[in-house]
Each structure stands twice: as C-alpha cells, then as structure tokens.
C-alpha cells in the first residue's frame, strides 16, 4: 500500500490492475494478457479466480492473450483476428477440429521396436526408448489404433489431440500461405 507503483514488479502491477478493474463489480471485464509477468503459481491462481468470478458472478470476461494456457483454461469461445481480419469465431473445440487434420497416438511397447516397424501406421513424430508418438489423419484414428493394438506388442496407448499452440501455429501459417 505504501509502495509507489513504479517500484512494483511487473507481476505485482498486473495483480493491482486486476483488482482495480474489478472494484466496481463490472458485468464485463476486458483483460489484456492478465498473467504476463506472473510466476506459474500466480498464473494458476489468477485463472482460477477468473473462472470463479465468471461462474459465481456471471461476469463476462473478454481476454486478449498470446498465452495459449490462458485461452484454453478460460475461454469457451475464441475469436482470432489477424492484421484486423476476423479469421475464426467459435468454440475452442471447433477451432482445434477445423485447423488440425490429425491426432497423435502415444505408444509404449512391451519390447523395443524400430521406427521402421511403426512407420506403416502413421507419421512418426517421436521414437525413443520410452515410447513412440505417431500422427494419423483424424478420421482414421480409431482404425489405426485398432490395427496397432492387434499387430504390435503395445503396453500402453493414448490418443491425444494436437497441442493448442500447434493448432494456432497451423491456423496462422494457413492464413500466411493464403496471402503468399
């Protein structure tokens, strides 16, 4: 309270700005990079607080962020704007489905396999002693996973979507290729 604002760290200033924005109990809050400069524990606390604010008070939160973790945890609806042009407006899941054509199958085997033994099932993204990750076209995921389970000595399998950061990269590289 007795410290001048300019002497606060970036994280401390961000927390103070959030408190100031909420003092009058607004129905809509605009936040620009609300977790910038915060350590991971403080980032999580801020995200949890904002979720609680939305859930309990019905406050609408409009967030601008380059931190995909913030977007994933806080947003149901995503609007993506690139150089002033609206390139997506919809549900977070829809964004992932539209701009990611594949899923990843993470495998652990009971015995060592070579990358060539796995290549026939999809594009090998990672192959090391601890496991293998392959990418397969989204519509073929179930069939490929079934074949893998029948044909390879699988100890553990997990089917995963693509990381959200990768979806955003794909979205922007797709937009850039339209311009080029």
| pLDDT per position as a tens digit, 81-108 | 888 889 889 998 888 777 778 899 999 9
How far apart are alpha carbons 154 and 157 in whole angstroms? 7
Buried b (16+ CB within 10 A) or exposed e, 37-58: ebeeeebeebbeebeebeeeee
Tokens of 100: 């990611």
d(CA 26, CA 130): 50
What is the DSSP annotation of 89-149? EEEHHHHHHHH--EEEEEEEESS---HHHHGGGSEEEEEETTEEEEEEEGGGHHHHHHHHH
Q: How confident is the model over 38-77, as pLDDT tens digits?
A: 889 889 989 999 999 999 999 999 999 888 889 989 998 9
Looking at the DSSP bridge assignments, the partners of residue 159 are 105
Retrieve residue 87's tokens.
């390139």
**Assigned token pair, 48:** 């949890």
- pLDDT given for residue 177 in this prediction: 47
Domains and CATH numbers, the chain: 5-75 (3.40.50.300), 101-161 (3.30.70.260)
Give phi and psi for 155, each to the nearest 5. -95, -40
pLDDT at res. 100: 79
pTM (two decimals): 0.66
pLDDT score, position 152: 94
Average pLDDT, the chain: 87
Q: What tokens does 97 get?
A: 């489905």
Give 7's DSSP letter. G
């Amino acid at each position: 309270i007795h410290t001048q604002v300019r002497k606060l760290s970036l994280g401390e200033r961000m927390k103070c700005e959030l408190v100031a924005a909420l003092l009058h109990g607004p129905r809509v809050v605009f936040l620009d990079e609300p977790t910038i400069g915060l350590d991971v524990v403080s980032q999580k606390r801020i995200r949890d607080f904002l979720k609680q604010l939305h859930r309990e008070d019905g406050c609408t939160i409009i967030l601008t962020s380059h931190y995909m973790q913030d977007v994933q945890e806080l947003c149901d609806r995503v609007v993506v704007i690139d150089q002033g042009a609206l390139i997506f407006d919809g549900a977070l899941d829809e964004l992932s489905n539209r701009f990611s054509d594949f899923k990843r199958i993470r495998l652990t085997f009971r015995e060592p396999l070579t990358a060539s033994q796995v290549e026939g099932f999809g594009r090998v993204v990672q192959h090391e002693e601890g496991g293998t990750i392959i990418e397969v076209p989204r519509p073929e995921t179930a069939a490929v996973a079934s074949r893998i389970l029948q044909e390879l000595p699988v100890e553990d399998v997990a089917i995963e979507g693509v990381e959200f950061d990768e979806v955003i990269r794909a979205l922007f590289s797709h937009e850039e290729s339209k311009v080029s």
